[in-house]
């Protein structure tokens, strides 16, 4: 492609997304005194990054312009890991490409890998330099080499880009602290406590145990600084157009290094408004649409995953709603699906799950889909609203407390082994940490040596993997869940981790266990590995699981059964899940009325033969009926 053709393509894409970009920026920054200069600077940044984009990535841009649904296809399956805990470094990833490919992975998320501040960095989310890789993992050249190798195998790389804050050691913060007015305006700083105290009246504490409050006083500066998460994480001032400009430049820099999915961290907190909780304000969605439009101009192969762990009513807009429909995030975490999985397991009743997923979530989304998961690097917050609980006749407060007690193992007859995270005695909020396998009962079952309980724990794990694979979207497997890694209590001996129970579910990858699991056998890890691999392979072969196909929650006739229909044009897929440890018998007529016609199981490939008009479902059964 000639330089003239290259320039013409840029202009075409600029015209395509011009309104999506500048309609938002006009509203956000139109009254700013340097707005006209900002607009010119932004186009220059977009053009410069496009001109610097490697040729192979420009071809990928063109391919994805022609196949815009690439990320919605059922062969997409994700794997999430910390580089140091996976195989040490970026170069170490190259040694494990066969493993990822064998599992059926086509998307990998390198947990925070940009250069963090020294010491406690909130797991890497306190970024000191967005343009450098954490030196413990390698260099930016290593990152480019690894992304290229993964891309050659059809595996896309996702990286974190923290939007709400930087580390206080970031160059912008250092210069702000030194008194440079330009950079002081990159952050939210106050001369006295008057405004911080006014804001605090409606803010929600994120880490009440070890980082209470949302502001930090620095006597050496004579300033109060907005620090939503930790003292070392300074919130950015997105009302300043220069912050937007800087972040667009960084975003495109990472895209040009080979990142194909940008996970925008902590997006809900980006815009501040007095008298609110300063989460999910309308301007947040304007900013995210504008960032998406900028990417479509200069790096259209890249999609955006927006990390907003909020209630359903707040979450859906991050995938584009109203004026932002089809124009904002391409992916957002389906936090409610995860929460409802654990809730239904504990209660052995799917009524709340059915109500929440049917009431609050659309059956399909334009140009977007969910990132589905059962576990991740973070804690589990029990996002069950009082209103949803009341709709089913029980107390939200008591239910949330029950779930915390069940999953920390203190509730009688609980199978789980977890740990509390950030208990807030004022609100009663208790979140939970723990690995998938330990929360699902494998740790406790292995302690007793009860073979039946061990098998049920394995079934619970595979039930979860089947649920996220069959819902639609991109299922994300957290490192080690495919081989049933247990809690790692060694974090308590590491000073920078001891205060944070989330490290209990961030163990180092056990490659000996993985190798043994892959060879097969009767061990829990072998059953989970081969079962997970089979689920992902079955998913890839199901056109009904394309992200654009509607998901319709069904009213299953049994309290422990959850059912939904993938309403594909060529015929539906009926997904059934038994959330109890008992056999259940479902009317074949009900399944037929729901749309099942051939009674083949797309998960196993086998035929389902009703007996006396009933379909037998074993404990924790998972069935995808055609």
Catalytically annotated residues: 265, 307
Q: Give the number of other CB atoms < 10 A from CB of residue 398.
A: 11
Whole-number Å distance between alpha carbons of 135 and 114: 9
Residue with tokens 């973070």, as numbered in its chain: 378
Contact indicator for 78, 263 with CB cutoff of 8 Å: no
Largest CA distance in the chain: 80
Q: Please, what's the b/e burial string for 424-456 (b: 16 or more CB within 10 A of its CB; e: otherwise)?
A: eeeeebbbbbbbbbbbbbbbbbbeeeeeebbbb
Please, which residues have CB within 8 angstroms of residue 31's CB and are 6 or more apart in sequence? none
Whole-number Å distance between alpha carbons of 504 and 246: 36
DSSP three-state, residue 407 = helix
Residue with tokens 């967005």, as numbered in its chain: 130
Q: What is the dihedral sign for C-alpha 459, 465, 466, 468?
A: positive
Region at 197 (left for phi over 0; alpha for psi -120 to 50; beta for the rest): alpha
Alpha carbons within 13 A on the beta-carbon side of 50: 26
Q: Please, what's the b/e burial string for 525-542 (b: 16 or more CB within 10 A of its CB; e: otherwise)?
A: bbbbbbbbbbbbebbbeb
Whole-number Å distance between alpha carbons of 132 and 143: 10
Q: Give the number of other CB atoms < 10 A from CB of residue 242.
A: 18
Alpha carbons within 13 A on the beta-carbon side of 311: 11
Whole-number Å distance between alpha carbons of 328 and 282: 12
Residue with tokens 């576990």, as numbered in its chain: 375
Q: Give the number of other CB atoms < 10 A from CB of residue 42.
A: 21
Contact indicator for 412, 464 with CB cutoff of 8 Å: no
| DSSP-assigned states of every residue in 490-525 | GGGGSTTTTT-GGGGG-PPP-HHHHHHHHH--SSHH
């Amino acid at each position: 492609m000639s330089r003239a053709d290259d320039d013409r393509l840029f202009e075409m894409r600029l015209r395509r997304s011009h309104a999506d970009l500048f309609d938002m920026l006009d509203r956000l920054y139109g009254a700013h005194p340097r707005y006209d200069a900002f607009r010119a600077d932004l186009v220059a940044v977009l053009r410069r990054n496009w001109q610097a984009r490697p040729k192979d990535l420009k071809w990928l841009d063109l391919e994805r312009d022609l196949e815009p649904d690439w990320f919605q296809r059922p062969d997409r399956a994700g794997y999430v890991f910390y580089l140091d805990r996976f195989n040490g470094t970026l170069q170490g990833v190259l040694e494990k490409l066969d493993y990822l490919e064998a599992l059926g992975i086509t998307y990998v998320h390198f947990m925070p890998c940009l250069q963090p501040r020294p010491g406690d960095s909130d797991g890497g989310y306190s970024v000191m330099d967005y343009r450098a890789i954490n030196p413990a993992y390698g260099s930016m050249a290593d990152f480019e080499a690894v992304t290229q190798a993964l891309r050659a195998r059809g595996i896309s790389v996702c990286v974190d880009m923290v939007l709400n804050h930087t580390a206080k050691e970031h160059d912008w913060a250092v210069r702000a602290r030194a008194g440079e007015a330009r950079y002081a305006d990159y952050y939210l700083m106050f001369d006295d406590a008057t405004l911080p105290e006014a804001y605090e009246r409606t803010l929600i504490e994120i880490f009440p145990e070890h980082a209470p409050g949302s502001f930090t006083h620095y006597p050496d500066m004579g300033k109060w600084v907005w620090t939503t998460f930790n003292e070392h994480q300074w919130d950015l001032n997105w009302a300043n157009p220069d912050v937007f400009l800087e972040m667009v430049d960084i975003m495109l820099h990472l895209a040009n290094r080979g990142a194909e999915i940008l996970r925008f961290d902590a997006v809900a907190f980006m815009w501040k408004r007095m008298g609110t909780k300063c989460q999910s304000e309308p301007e947040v969605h304007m900013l995210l649409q504008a960032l998406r439009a900028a990417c479509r101009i200069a790096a259209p192969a890249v999609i955006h995953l927006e990390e907003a762990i909020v209630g359903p009513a707040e979450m859906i807009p991050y995938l584009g709603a109203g004026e932002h429909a089809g124009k904002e995030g391409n992916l957002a975490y389906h936090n409610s699906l995860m929460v409802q999985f654990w809730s239904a397991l504990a209660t052995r009743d799917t009524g709340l799950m059915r109500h929440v997923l049917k009431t609050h979530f659309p059956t399909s989304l334009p140009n977007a889909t969910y990132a589905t998961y059962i576990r991740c690097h973070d804690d589990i917050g029990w996002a069950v609203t009082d209103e949803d609980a009341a709709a089913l006749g029980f107390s939200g407060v008591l239910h949330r407390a029950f779930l915390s007690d069940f999953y920390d193992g203190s509730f009688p007859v609980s199978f789980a082994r977890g740990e509390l995270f950030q208990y807030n005695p004022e609100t009663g909020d208790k979140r939970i940490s723990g690995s998938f396998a330990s929360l699902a009962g494998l740790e406790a079952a292995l302690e007793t040596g009860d073979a039946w309980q061990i098998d049920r724990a394995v079934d619970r794990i595979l039930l979860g993997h089947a649920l996220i694979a069959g819902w639609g979207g991109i299922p994300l497997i957290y490192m080690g869940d495919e081989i049933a890694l247990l809690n790692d209590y060694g974090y308590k001996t590491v000073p920078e981790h001891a205060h944070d129970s989330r490290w209990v579910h961030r163990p180092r990858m056990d490659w000996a266990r993985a190798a043994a699991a892959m060879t097969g056998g009767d061990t829990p890890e072998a059953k989970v590995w081969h079962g997970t691999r089979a689920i992902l392979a079955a998913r890839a072969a199901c056109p009904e699981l394309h992200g654009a196909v509607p998901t319709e929650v069904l009213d299953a006739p049994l309290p422990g059964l959850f059912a939904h229909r993938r309403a594909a044009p060529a015929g539906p897929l009926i997904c059934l899940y038994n959330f109890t440890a008992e056999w259940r018998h479902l009317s074949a007529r009900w399944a037929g009325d729901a749309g099942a016609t051939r009674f083949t199981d797309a998960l196993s490939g086998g035929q389902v033969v009703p007996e006396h008009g009933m379909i037998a479902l074993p404990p924790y059964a998972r069935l995808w009926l055609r």
